Structure 1
Amino acid sequence: MSNVRKSLLQLIFTGSSMQRWNDKLRPTELMEVDKQAHKMMVAWVLFLLNTRDMPAEERVELGARIVEGGIFDYLYRLIITDIKPPIFYRIKANPAHYRQLTDWVFAELEPRVRSLGEPFWDRLQTYLRSTEEDTLDRRILSAAHLYASGWEYNLIKSMNRQDVELMDIEESFRNGLKKNVDLIGVPDLLEGLFGQGRTPVGHFAQVCGQLRFQKRWSQTPRIPETSVLGHMFIVACYAYFFSLSIGACSARAQNNFFGGLFHDLPELLTRDIISPVKQSVETIGDLIKEYEELELERVILEPLRRGGFPDLVDRLSFFLGLSVGSEFQACATLDGEVRRVSPTELQAFYNADEYDPKDGELLKVCDSLAAFLEAYTALRNGIASDQLQQGLWRIRSKYSSWVLFGQVHVGALLADFD
């Protein structure tokens, strides 16, 4: 039986306070949760590009390994937060030392993660104990990790020219990506990161990274501040965990993860417009949505389509709910067409890989839970704010008796946050 608990939600959120490159001069704070979001966006691109000819069943299995591998890597990183990468890689090169470190990580994770069920816990242990690096899922995650870290490196490079580590750091990113240059998409990423060219895939990866600069609740002081990019990764993780809790098929669980990961992508173009503004005038919400879709087409979808990547465009459109009206609308693929379905229909009739299902209501709940954690944590950290208090009250009130598919009592979960 899979069960999502308060401690797991909080653990995922702690990446919002975990600084990266904190021994370097930085133009802005770089947070772990933002890097993980960027990494998984790039991993999704590489996954699609390198499975075009793969049978559907194998593709779903690979997608599951990539999603869970990304989550497992993040959980591991949250525990070993104070170990610098060069030290960690030296530890990993020594099997006995790596085993000792990993056993300690498991002891730290178990009270918060094992409630997701024995199968999930077993897969986590198997993945983190393995030192295998040549499987397609691990190579995709490795390339995505190197790109996202290299993207951050480019931000701080000019401010740290006196740092003797810089050349070694850049060389490690270049060499790591070159080892995976046979993967479709990696040459484009490498060119966009360290070359002078601008490719459609490189452009998409670049603009996704910019979402780390957009702060949520921009008119409300908070500790920690959260970016739109980090928020999307938190929603993605929550969506995957809840998918396990309701017995979602593998394709549905993956779609919910990536649906959460991309659900706020249009805010790259409009900024994070808070709900009261959208709802203040009867038509303003519709106008904002229309503008978002126009800019999404101009800045992201059309360059990909023109560059020969219609499959990326189709899947992004699917995750963003462009053909069914909203990213928070449940849908399934019937007779080759993506159609709106009710949450009840999705759970009862279309919870199978062949229908390529995606939740809407579940994603909205996870979006609200992530906002709840943002407000709750800021208040616990001493930020007195009417906006934060009202946000908590609205979410508690809305979900006080909410039960997802008769299996996940959201109100009871919120009640654990005193």
Structure 2
Amino acid sequence: MPIIRKSLLQFIFSGTTMKRWNDKLRPVELLEVDKQAHKMMAAWMLFMLNSRDMTPARRRELGDAVVEGGLFDYFYRLVITDIKPPIFYKIKENPEHHRQLTAWVLDQLEPLLLPVGREFWDRFRARLSLPQGQAGLAGRILDAAHLYASSWEFNLIKDLGPWDDEKAGIEQSFVDGLGRFTDLRGVGDLLAGPESVLGRFAHLCGQLRFQTRWSQTPRIPETSVLGHLFIVAAYAWFFSLSVGACPARRQNNFFAGLFHDLPEVLTRDIISPVKKSVRTIGDLIRQYEESELARRVYGPLEAGGFADLSARLGYFLGRETGSEFQAVAVRDGAVRPVTWEELQGPANRDDQDPKDGELIKVCDSLAAFVEAYSALRNGISSDQLQQAVWRLRQQYQTYALGDELHVGALLADFD
């Protein structure tokens, strides 16, 4: 059975301290975990569009490859850290040099990832050992999404520091790179930017990197809403593996985690005490979120020919049930709430398209715990951080997701 450990949760979180474009003048800090979130959001759009004609089984296979390929790329990047992209691409051009670098990366990651399971570790090794360009459609989707997210960041900084003679070459490399993927459905829309419905939605997602979580509480590292989404999605994937979720369920959990705070690009990050202070305030916020999502996300996507993306986002965000943290499955053609016991039993089937609620909420809380815990360990002490760590420890002290995952025991490892 896959084992989830403190070391894995912290490793996933470590992308919050990995700075991007750190040799360039930049208006805001650009972080690896933010870029990975934006990349996987773009990858989801491309996955949806390029699997429209596939059988359900082939689509699930592609979805698994996209999610795990994205996680594998992230882990690889966390280990090689400060190798600049031009140097890394030169290494990749030499098969022997790339093999040696990959072997070293695998040595570093084995203690972290092997407890997740031998099958997962073998998939990771196989993915990293593939020759360049041999990762199939999933690899092309991820490469295109990577270039899109990186070029989006570059557009934030390209007009700063006109003396930088590298920028013209960097910009051209993005143009040339993305040009190799225009045969994929959706890439042209992303390149069109706000002039296209899909490009406008992708821009909206990217703006979540500008929203700082815990904005009134000093922390090291600071985290954005966008980075938090990727962390929750990654936790949800590994927790899904741990509880034996079927492929459809684990993919739904990853993408639901990745988009669960999307309304905050429309409402900003409203902290839980405000939402819960008066019951009617929480209801009012939810109503406003729904109306803004309908006006700025669902409606434009449907009108632009992307009704399938709109419907899927609505499923992830709990449009039918009123909560993104409500577990659901599709039965008799209708979305129906289900219990944890049903998810672990008769609803844990691909043909019922199950999605967790409780598990995603736990991952959301654990991400907040790791944020507060890390800030305290880094010497930033405040009442808010202390209270958050204490409250979450108390809340989950005896909490378990079935017999497979004891959350309290996992938190106990954080001394």
TM-score, scaled relative to structure 1: 0.98
Match of 2:222 in 1: 225
**C-alpha distance after superposition, 1:184-208 (max 9, x if no partner):** 110111121xxxx610000010010
Match of 1:104 in 2: 104
Match of 2:195 in 1: 198
Amino acid at match of 2:99: R
Q: Which region of structure 1 is more displaced relative to structure 2, 279-288 or 214-223?
A: 279-288
1:265 aligns with 2:262: yes
Match of 1:352 in 2: 349
What is the CA–CA distance in structure 2 between the aligned matches of 1:97 and 1:375, rounded to whole Å? 40
What is the CA–CA distance in structure 2 between the aligned matches of 1:415 and 1:347, rounded to whole Å? 25
Match of 2:37 in 1: 37
Match of 1:28 in 2: 28
Q: 1:404 aligns with which of 401, 404, 409?
A: 401
What is the CA–CA distance in structure 2 between the aligned matches of 1:276 and 1:288, rounded to whole Å? 13
Is the 8 Å Cα contact of residues 250 and 353 (structure 1) preserved in structure 2?
yes
Spell out the pairing of 1:215-254 with structure 2 (5 A cutoff). Answer: 215-254=212-251
Amino acid at match of 1:160: G
Match of 1:256 in 2: 253
Is the 8 Å Cα contact of residues 174 and 190 (structure 1) preserved in structure 2?
no
How far has the Cα of 1:132 moved from its partner?
Answer: 4.0
Is the 8 Å Cα contact of residues 314 and 320 (structure 2) preserved in structure 1?
yes
Is the 8 Å Cα contact of residues 92 and 132 (structure 2) preserved in structure 1?
no
Match of 1:166 in 2: 167
What is the CA–CA distance in structure 1 between the aligned matches of 2:94 and 2:307, rounded to whole Å? 44
How far has the Cα of 1:335 moved from its partner?
Answer: 1.5
Match of 2:133 in 1: 133
What is the CA–CA distance in structure 1 between the aligned matches of 2:348 and 2:323, rounded to whole Å? 20
What is the CA–CA distance in structure 1 between the aligned matches of 2:315 and 2:189, rounded to whole Å? 24
Match of 2:150 in 1: 149
What is the CA–CA distance in structure 2 between the aligned matches of 1:405 and 1:357, rounded to whole Å? 17
Q: What SS is found at the alignment partner of 1:158?
A: coil
What are structure 2's unaligned runs of at least 5 residues? none
Spell out the pairing of 1:267-416 with structure 2 (5 A cutoff). Answer: 267-416=264-413
Q: What SS is found at the alignment partner of 2:279?
A: coil
Q: What SS is found at the alignment partner of 1:339?
A: strand
What is the CA–CA distance in structure 1 between the aligned matches of 2:168 and 2:347, rounded to whole Å? 52
Is the 8 Å Cα contact of residues 256 and 359 (structure 1) preserved in structure 2?
yes
What is the CA–CA distance in structure 2 between the aligned matches of 1:29 and 1:91, rounded to whole Å? 27
* RMSD, aligned α-carbons: 0.8
Is the 8 Å Cα contact of residues 332 and 340 (structure 1) preserved in structure 2?
yes
**C-alpha distance after superposition, 1:274-315 (max 9, x if no partner):** 111111122111111111111111111111111111000000
What is the CA–CA distance in structure 2 between the aligned matches of 1:213 and 1:42, rounded to whole Å? 18
What is the CA–CA distance in structure 1 between the aligned matches of 2:287 and 2:281, rounded to whole Å? 10
What is the CA–CA distance in structure 2 between the aligned matches of 1:370 and 1:133, rounded to whole Å? 34
Match of 1:54 in 2: 54
How far has the Cα of 1:370 moved from its partner?
Answer: 0.1
Q: What SS is found at the alignment partner of 2:329?
A: strand
How far has the Cα of 1:161 moved from its partner?
Answer: 2.0
Amino acid at match of 1:153: F
What is the CA–CA distance in structure 2 between the aligned matches of 1:244 and 1:260, rounded to whole Å? 15
Q: What SS is found at the alignment partner of 1:348?
A: coil
Match of 1:17 in 2: 17
Large movers: runs of 4+ above 3 Å: none
Match of 1:89 in 2: 89
**C-alpha distance after superposition, 1:76-124 (max 9, x if no partner):** 0000001000000111111111111111111111111111000000000
Q: Which region of structure 1 is more displaced relative to structure 2, 347-356 or 67-76?
A: 347-356
- Identity among equivalent positions (%) equals 65
Match of 1:115 in 2: 115
What is the CA–CA distance in structure 2 between the aligned matches of 1:120 and 1:132, rounded to whole Å? 21
What is the CA–CA distance in structure 2 between the aligned matches of 1:77 and 1:90, rounded to whole Å? 15
What is the CA–CA distance in structure 2 between the aligned matches of 1:186 and 1:334, rounded to whole Å? 34
What are structure 1's unaligned runs of at least 5 residues? none
TM-score, scaled relative to structure 2: 0.99
1:71 aligns with 2:71: yes
What is the CA–CA distance in structure 1 between the aligned matches of 2:388 and 2:204, rounded to whole Å? 29
Q: What SS is found at the alignment partner of 1:23?
A: coil
How many pairs were matched up?
414
**C-alpha distance after superposition, 1:336-391 (max 9, x if no partner):** 22111111111111111111111000000000000000000000000110000110
Is the 8 Å Cα contact of residues 248 and 349 (structure 2) preserved in structure 1?
yes
What is the CA–CA distance in structure 2 between the aligned matches of 1:3 and 1:362, rounded to whole Å? 16
Is the 8 Å Cα contact of residues 114 and 121 (structure 2) preserved in structure 1?
yes
How far has the Cα of 1:324 moved from its partner?
Answer: 1.5
